[in-house]
């Protein structure tokens, strides 16, 4: 669903159409006529075969499908008008296969208390407001929540691509919407969180305990330092857990990385928690996954439905210094704007991790049920693991 407004990528669209189609008459029409320009993705997208979803699957090196698309975008890979992105990896058969990961019936809440971290780590975000509303003989309560402050599922309206942080250059997944589409009072709901809520997300999760691996080596680390976790290290973590790096993940998996953030943050005094958001400059750092070509290739090859972690952004922060495919990019840009890959952040992995080590088993069944907010940006994931 395209809006009637001229999309952000209008100039690129025109260039692409002109390059691709040699029919001069059509070029003349585009240049001189106010008729809507055809969306490029109707021309450049993969034909998805529902019985064989990985037929014609592009390799990492084949991304993007057209050179006018941004760095490593997977636009068109699930079709030109797709709004689910990497959640498409979850099929009925994927969910059925994950049944075998339920062996004990032990359930694990993966959500922090909704007020945590408190105060929010970004000072532009207000804390949770929870009010009890007493009524005649019964109680209601009212919550006002910035969905980015606590455990969260980042939807596809959260983070577009931009090469230079100029509003002119931002593009959302599949180039389906603009900032104005989101802001307009009667704006479209395209790419809203209701899509993920209505899909209902379940399947196989796989845990990599990077923090546990570091501790096992007596290696020190600080989650308030922009340490970059590489794909090579994640393979080493898998090996330490007794898994084969080549086969530990399956298409459709939810990959979860424990960085040790929750453990270190919750161990701080309330005073020290209160000052975390006010660290400045070089101090405003967080440990996380490295934004790099190598990390993206490693993840793309795994065909993951979701990625998640216990830290603020999955990737290390600040996130604007990495050069990916020659351009400054963050994982957020490529994941959300490019692949339609949702990110689940601030997961509470402590109890699940302890149980996984106790059982020496690192895969689990999981469910995520986002709030069904039409046009929403993000949501508490209401995430649960079952062993
Ligand atoms: C889709 O995949 C199935 C299973 O591989 C195959 O039998 C069928 O011919 C494919 N359809 C198309 C249109 O390619
Ligand atoms: C697969 O699951 C979807 C969503 O729950 C459902 O609509 C569809 O009918 C299922 N397909 C089969 C073959 O059961
Ligand atoms: C960003 O790039 C666009 C397209 O090249 C250009 O029009 C715009 O002026 C740039 N903005 C900034 C702030 O550099
Ligand atoms: C880590 O430190 C503990 C306690 O000092 C020690 O027993 C253990 O051997 C060390 N492990 C490694 C891998 O160095
Ligand atoms: C923070 O990261 C830098 C660069 O990797 C490293 O030299 C330093 O020791 C780290 N500090 C802590 C406390 O981990
Ligand atoms: C992590 O990677 C980013 C991007 O390449 C870089 O700016 C930052 O210095 C790295 N962090 C450390 C601690 O080396």
Ligand 4 in reach of 22 Cβ (< 6 A): no
What residues contact 312, with CB distance under 8 A and at least 6 apart? 121, 261, 286, 288, 345, 346
Mean pLDDT of the chain: 88
Residue with tokens 């296969």: 97
Q: What angle in degrees, to the nearest 10, is found between the helix axes of 24-32 and 10-20?
A: 160
Which pLDDT belongs to residue 279? 86
Distance 9 CA to ligand 3 centre (A): 13
Number of helices (H) and strands (E) in the chain: give both, helices first.
12, 15
CATH no. for 83-386: 3.50.30.50
Distance 305 CA to ligand 2 centre (A): 17
Which pLDDT belongs to residue 137? 96
> Among candidates 83, 77, 82, 73, which has minimal Cα distance to 57?
77
Distance 299 CA to ligand 1 centre (A): 27
* Region for residue 309 given its phi and psi (left: phi exceeds 0; alpha: psi -120 to 50; beta: otherwise): beta
Ligand 3 in reach of 168 Cβ (< 6 A): yes
DSSP per-residue letters across 40-56? GGGTS-----TTSTTTT
Q: Are 341 and 75 in contact (CB under 8 A)?
A: no
Half-sphere exposure of 12 (CA within 13 A, CB side): 16
318 prior amide bond cis, ω within 30: yes
Which pLDDT belongs to residue 325? 87
Parallel/antiparallel/unpaired status of strands 343-345 and 306-309: parallel
Return the ligand number nearest the Cα of 290. 6
Return the ligand number nearest the Cα of 90. 2
The 10s digit of each residue's pLDDT in 123-177 is 999 999 999 999 999 999 999 999 999 999 999 999 998 877 677 789 999 999 9
DSSP per-residue letters across 319-348? -S--EETTEE--HHIIIIIII---EEESB-
Half-sphere exposure of 203 (CA within 13 A, CB side): 25
pLDDT (average), residues 51-74: 95
Percent of residues, the chain, with pLDDT higher than 70: 89
The whole-angstrom separation of Cα 316 and Cα 331 is 9
Q: Are 172 and 146 in contact (CB under 8 A)?
A: no
Query: Atom 4, ligand 5: which residue's CA is nearest?
Result: 227
61 by Cβ neighbours in 10 Å (0-12 / 13-18 / 19+) ranks as: exposed
The 10s digit of each residue's pLDDT in 219-277 is 999 999 999 999 999 999 999 999 999 999 999 999 999 999 999 999 999 999 999 99
Model confidence, pTM: 0.88
pLDDT (average), residues 335-340: 98
Return the ligand number nearest the Cα of 214. 4
The 10s digit of each residue's pLDDT in 80-132 is 999 999 999 999 999 999 999 999 999 999 999 999 999 999 999 999 999 99
Distance 45 CA to ligand 3 centre (A): 27
């Amino acid at each position: 669903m395209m809006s009637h407004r001229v999309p952000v990528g209008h100039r690129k669209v025109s260039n692409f159409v002109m390059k691709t189609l040699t029919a001069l008459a059509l070029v003349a029409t585009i240049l001189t006529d106010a008729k809507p320009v055809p969306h490029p993705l109707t021309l450049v997208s993969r034909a998805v075969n529902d019985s064989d979803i990985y037929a014609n699957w592009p390799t990492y090196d084949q991304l993007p499908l057209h050179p006018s698309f941004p760095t490593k975008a997977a636009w068109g890979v699930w079709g030109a008008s797709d709004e689910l992105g990497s959640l498409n990896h979850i099929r009925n058969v994927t969910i059925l296969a994950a049944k075998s990961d339920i062996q004990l019936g032990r359930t694990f809440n993966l959500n922090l208390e909704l007020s945590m971290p408190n105060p929010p780590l970004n000072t532009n975000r207000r804390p949770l407001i929870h009010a009890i509303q007493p009524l005649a003989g019964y109680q209601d309560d009212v919550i006002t929540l910035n969905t980015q402050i606590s455990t969260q599922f980042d939807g596809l309206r959260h983070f577009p691509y931009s090469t230079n942080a100029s509003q002119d250059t931002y593009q959302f997944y599949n180039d389906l919407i603009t900032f104005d589409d989101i802001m307009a009072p009667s704006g479209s709901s395209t790419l809203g969180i209701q899509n993920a809520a209505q899909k209902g997300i379940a399947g196989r999760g796989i845990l990599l305990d990077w923090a546990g691996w570091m501790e096992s080596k007596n290696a020190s680390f600080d989650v308030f330092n922009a340490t970059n976790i590489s794909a090579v290290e994640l393979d080493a973590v898998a090996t330490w857990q007794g898994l084969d790096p080549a086969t530990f993940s399956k298409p459709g998996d939810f990959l979860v990385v424990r960085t040790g953030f929750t453990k270190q943050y919750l161990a701080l005094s309330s005073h020290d928690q209160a000052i975390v958001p006010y660290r400045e400059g070089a101090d405003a750092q967080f440990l996380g996954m490295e934004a790099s070509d190598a990390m993206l290739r490693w993840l793309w090859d795994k065909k993951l439905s979701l990625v998640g972690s216990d830290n603020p952004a999955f990737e290390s922060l600040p996130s604007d210094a990495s050069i990916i495919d020659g351009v400054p990019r963050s994982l957020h840009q490529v994941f959300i704007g490019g692949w339609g890959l949702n990110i689940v952040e601030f997961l509470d992995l402590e109890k699940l991790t302890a149980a996984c080590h106790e059982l020496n088993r690192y895969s689990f069944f999981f469910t995520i049920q986002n709030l069904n907010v039409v046009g929403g940006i993000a949501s508490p994931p209401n995430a649960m693991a079952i062993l």
